């Protein structure tokens, strides 16, 4: 039996610049909600509503809401916040089902308007409206025309929470009766995944009078600076022969680096196609690229770039590897060849040092303040409020990452990205964030939380190892064998019965909770 799951199809090394989706390889991974696009027939063609003779606009129709720049000082004015909506399943009295995809341009998330997702499943069951709203400072929803430090002053978790509440209380939706959908007239359900899942939990905690119920998938409610646990689910659930060999190769790199033998180090760097990279921490950071692909796995795919990487290390002349892997003798040159091919694709047109360096701050990546730069916007929240630096495990713990990848490697980049804000490398104020919203022990009524055992973000959720948060009828916690945000997609439920169980329970709770809603007196 081979080391890895069989691939559904041959997958080549095709990355958008880097496996983590960034233009720069050094930044921490984002806790992104999975992307679900609407089917073409709904996205670009009007369809007839089931309860009327009126036609529905295309689902990619963009609407705008006048949102406060600063909820603490409304006199500062408003900005145009983008949103999308579908009333395909709506009948008067049904709920408003709102999602923000969080730290990304939202225009590719119109699938959350349809029953391809849990949002649409709830809407179909409860005759509701689905809405996707773009988070401030992402995409084209910007209070100011740049992402300078002066502008980003208004990019906070608190402002984002108040955006959602203010929208629910004041929006006029673009259909007959859309002026009477506020929480006074209809129940609102807030849904989110990953960071936006945490935002869902935070918002229900802060505004129980606005949102009647919530669904938080893979919700990273506990902010953590030294987030070494990110790669622990990867280490445990990846093929163990591949995991063992990765650990051996990484340990070899660290041994050569710590030996001080410059010739041996240069030979090793060159064999991996990184001979010209100046800083050795940038070199070992590149080794994490294939491992970062774990976050994109789903119960439907269960293959792709991550398993291409393990195949490169473990499939040898068609021979099945031993349970403990082939060992350093095979894994080291196999990874070296894989790495050279990967970088030839990712770094095409650049010198290898320009491509991998996190030190050359003359690059536009560090200096540009243009809008629609989700990397810069998210890094601001990372550096100020949430942390989530994915670093090597503590000494004495097995690690998939080099010991050189520590908190200081990340905090240095905060200072480089935002020198006006940070005269020295900052420590994100995660204690204040956890105190404000409750962290692992956040309390909110009618909040459904879904987690997956294979989610690399699991240790920032209420299902973290070593943390006990009781599941209750008011705050049920349901786990699947899934990956990151797997339960948000309908197809994932069809592929994995444990994910289907999560979705089935969520629909039951939503039906029960929405039955209890009554218009405020």
What angle, 0 to 180 degrees and rounded to 10, lies between the N-to-C axes of helices 328-346 and 240-259?
90
Q: How far apart are the C-alpha atoms of 237 and 229, rounded to whole Å?
A: 13
For residue 89 the two structure tokens come to 């399943």
Query: Catalytic residue among 282, 353, 455, 459, which?
Result: 455
For residue 87 the two structure tokens come to 């009333």
Q: Write the CB contacts of 71 (distance below 8 Å, at least 6 apart in sequence).
A: 158, 159, 162, 163, 166
Q: How far apart are the C-alpha atoms of 164 and 146, rounded to whole Å?
A: 22
- Give me the sign of the Cα torsion angle 345, 295, 438, 120: positive
The per-residue b/e assignment along 449-474, b for 16 or more CB within 10 angstroms, e otherwise, is: bbbbebbbbbbbbbbbeeeebeeeee
**Residue 455 falls in the annotated catalytic set:** yes
CB 69 within 8 A of CB 77: yes
In the chain the first and final C-alpha atoms are separated, in Å, by 65
| Residue linked to tokens 């622990």 | 232
**Residue 194 falls in the annotated catalytic set:** yes
Q: Which of 466, 392, 508, 516 is nearest to 118 (CA)?
A: 508
Query: Catalytic residue among 86, 141, 151, 194, which?
Result: 194
Q: Where in the sequence numbering do the catalytic residues fall?
A: 194, 455
């Amino acid at each position: 039996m081979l080391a890895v799951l069989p691939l559904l199809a041959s997958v080549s090394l095709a990355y958008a610049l880097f496996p983590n989706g960034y233009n720069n390889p050094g930044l921490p991974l984002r806790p992104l909600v999975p992307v679900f696009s609407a089917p073409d027939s709904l996205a670009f063609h009007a369809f007839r509503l089931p309860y009327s003779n009126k036609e529905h606009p295309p689902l990619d129709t963009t609407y705008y809401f006048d949102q406060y720049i600063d909820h603490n000082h409304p006199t500062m004015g408003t900005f145009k916040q983008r949103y999308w909506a579908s009333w395909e399943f709506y009948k008067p009295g049904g709920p408003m089902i709102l999602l923000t995809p969080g730290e990304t341009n939202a225009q590719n998330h119109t699938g959350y308007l349809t029953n391809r997702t849990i949002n649409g499943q709830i809407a179909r069951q409860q005759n509701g409206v689905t809405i996707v709203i773009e988070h401030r400072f992402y995409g084209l929803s910007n209070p100011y025309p740049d992402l300078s430090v002066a502008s980003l002053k208004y990019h906070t978790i608190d402002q984002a929470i108040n955006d959602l509440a203010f929208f629910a209380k004041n929006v006029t939706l673009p259909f007959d009766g859309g002026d009477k959908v506020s929480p006074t007239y209809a129940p609102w359900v807030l849904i989110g995944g990953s960071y936006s899942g945490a935002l869902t939990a935070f918002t229900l905690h802060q505004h129980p009078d606005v949102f009647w119920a919530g669904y938080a998938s893979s919700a990273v409610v506990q902010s953590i600076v030294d987030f070494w646990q990110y790669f622990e689910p990867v280490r445990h659930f990846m093929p163990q022969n591949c995991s063992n060999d990765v650990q051996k190769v990484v340990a070899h790199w660290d041994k050569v680096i710590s030996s001080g033998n410059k010739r041996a180090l240069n030979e090793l760097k060159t064999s991996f196609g990184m001979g010209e990279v100046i800083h050795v921490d940038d070199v070992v950071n590149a080794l994490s690229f294939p491992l970062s692909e774990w976050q994109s796995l789903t119960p439907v795919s269960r293959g792709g770039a991550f398993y291409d990487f393990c195949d490169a290390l473990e499939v040898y002349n068609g021979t099945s590897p031993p349970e403990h892997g082939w060992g350093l003798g095979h894994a080291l040159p196999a990874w070296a060849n894989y790495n050279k091919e990967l970088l030839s694709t990712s770094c095409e047109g650049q010198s290898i040092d320009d491509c991998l360096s996190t030190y050359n701050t003359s690059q536009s990546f560090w200096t540009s303040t243009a809008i629609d730069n989700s990397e810069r916007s998210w890094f601001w929240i990372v550096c100020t409020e949430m942390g989530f630096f994915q670093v090597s495990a503590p000494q004495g713990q097995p690690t998939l990452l080099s010991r050189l990848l520590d908190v200081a490697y990340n905090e240095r980049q905060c200072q480089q990205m935002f020198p006006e804000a940070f005269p020295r490398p900052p420590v994100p104020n995660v204690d204040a964030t956890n105190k404000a919203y409750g962290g692992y022990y956040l309390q909110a009524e009618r909040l459904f939380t879904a987690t997956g055992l294979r989610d690399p973000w699991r240790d920032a959720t209420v299902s973290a190892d070593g943390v006990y948060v009781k599941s209750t009828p008011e705050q049920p916690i349901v786990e699947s064998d899934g990956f990151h945000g797997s339960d948000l997609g309908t197809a994932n439920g069809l592929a994995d019965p444990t994910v289907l169980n999560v979705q089935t329970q969520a629909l039951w709770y939503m039906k029960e909770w929405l039955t209890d809603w009554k218009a405020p007196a």
